[in-house]
Amino acid sequence: MIEIEGVSFSYRTGEEDAVPALRGLDLRIEPGRFVAIIGHNGSGKSTLVKLLTAIQYPTEGTIRIDGVPVDEGNQWEIRRKVSVVFQDPDDQLVMNRVEDDVAFGPENLGLPREEIAERVESSLGALGLREIRGRLIEDLSSGQKQRAAIAGALAMRPRFLILDEPTSLLPVPVAMRLVAAIRDLNRRENMGVLHVTHSMHEASLFDRVVVMEAGRKILDGTPAEVFRQVERLREVGLDVPLAASLAHRLRARGISLEGDVLDEKDLRVALSSAIGSPADPPA
């Protein structure tokens, strides 16, 4: 369980100056949940990620992960519970070859050889990297590098995997495959996932969406609950998935659509019951 209570954080930029990045944030995330975090640039998403992984510490308030307070004394215990993957895989891949990089984390935990081998094997398999396990990192595509970085994070067997815009540099189909792979792991291993993204479509694939603005949480709910708040999201510079936006416009024009519309399939279903199925063409 991640428990964030009244957390504020400011970056110190000079003797007197401080940039507030989080302001009184409260958030609880149960184990095994699949959560997207969205918000405009500068809303505090990456700062939250840094606090959850003991890279920075709250200026005010407390964070606990499975009951362990996130503070300097518990830095290593926290980093065993939480693994993070950032936007740019080049910042986190440290070894020359894929499998060595995946083994790097577990080796640093001082685990027995067989355990390391087993973790490397299953992490490579989960991300579809077995065939390229011996390849040099520098020869990989950006999608492959990002998968290697995630495999390395998984090999730590974290309770929570935190992804800070891991898909923003990837083509959409590669990003979709990555989200599907993470979903699969989330289900199979009951590993909690917090996924920061600018893609509203991606966010709509999660169980819960948390919306940040100016260091605060402004919306929190299922994708259907959050993406219904079209006007509120627009106020903070966010859009909604295309199908949700179309449904919103149609409703504003007086067309009554039933149910929640998040994707094209929902829209088709809602439209066909609103307009009625087109008559069969004459034989």
Ligand X SMILES: Nc1ncnc2c1ncn2[C@@H]1O[C@H](COP(=O)(O)OP(=O)(O)OP(=O)(O)O)[C@@H](O)[C@H]1O
Residues contributing to the site for Mg ion (CB under 5 A) = 45-46
**In terms of CB distance, is 19 or 180 closer to ligand X?**
19
Tokens of 199: 């893609």
Q: Which stretch binds ligand X (CB under 6 A): 41-49, 236-244, 248-256, 274-282?
A: 41-49
- Pair of tokens at residue 187: 């289900």
Q: How far is the CB of 46 from Mg ion (least distance, A)?
A: 3
Written as one letter, the residue type at 264 is E
C-beta closer to ligand X: residue 19 or 275: 19
Least distance in Å: CB of 270 to ligand X?
32
Report d(CA 276, CA 273) in Å as an integer: 5
What is the total count of residues that contact ligand X (CB under 6 A)? 12
Question: By C-alpha distance, which of 176, 182, 235, 222 is closest to 43?
Answer: 235
CB atoms within 10 A of CB 229: 18
Complex with Mg ion: residue 99 or 164, whichever CB lies closer = 164
Compute the least distance from the CB of residue 206 to ligand X, in Å: 17
- What's the min distance (Å) between Cβ of 187 and ligand X? 27
C-beta of 46 vs 204, nearer to Mg ion: 46
For ligand X, the binding residue among 27, 35, 39, 70 (CB under 6 A) is 39
The number of beta carbons lying within 10 Å of the beta carbon of residue 208 is 19
Q: Which residues of 231-243 are buried (b: 16+ CB within 10 A; e: fewer)?
A: eebeebebebbeb
Touching ligand X, residues 9-38 (CB under 6 A): 11, 13, 19, 21
- Using CB distances below 5 to 8 A depending on partner kind, what does residue 43 bind out of ligand X, Mg ion, none? ligand X
Backbone phi, psi, residue 66, to 5°: 45, 45
Judged by beta carbon, residue 148 or residue 212, the one nearer ligand X is 212
**Considering beta carbons, is residue 48 or 156 the nearer one to ligand X?**
48
Give Cβ neighbours of residue 2 (< 8 Å, ≥ 6 apart).
27, 28, 29, 52, 63, 64, 65, 160, 192, 194
Tally of CA atoms within 13 A in the half-sphere of 265 that contains its CB: 0
Per-residue interface string for the shown chain with ligand X, residues 55-94, x marking contact by CB under 6 A: ----------------------------------------
Considering only residues 7, 33, 43, 226, which one is a binding residue for ligand X as defined by CB under 6 A? 43
Give whichever of 27 and 155 is closer to Mg ion, judged by the CB atom.
27
Task: Report the residue from 46, 186, 199, 204 that binds ligand X according to the rule CB under 6 A.
Answer: 46
Residue 45 as a binder of ligand X (CB under 6 A): the answer is yes
C-alpha 102/C-alpha 217 separation (Å) is 34
Helix then strand then coil, % of the chain, to nearest 5: 45, 25, 35
| Binding interface with ligand X (CB under 6 A) | 11, 13, 19, 21, 39, 41-47
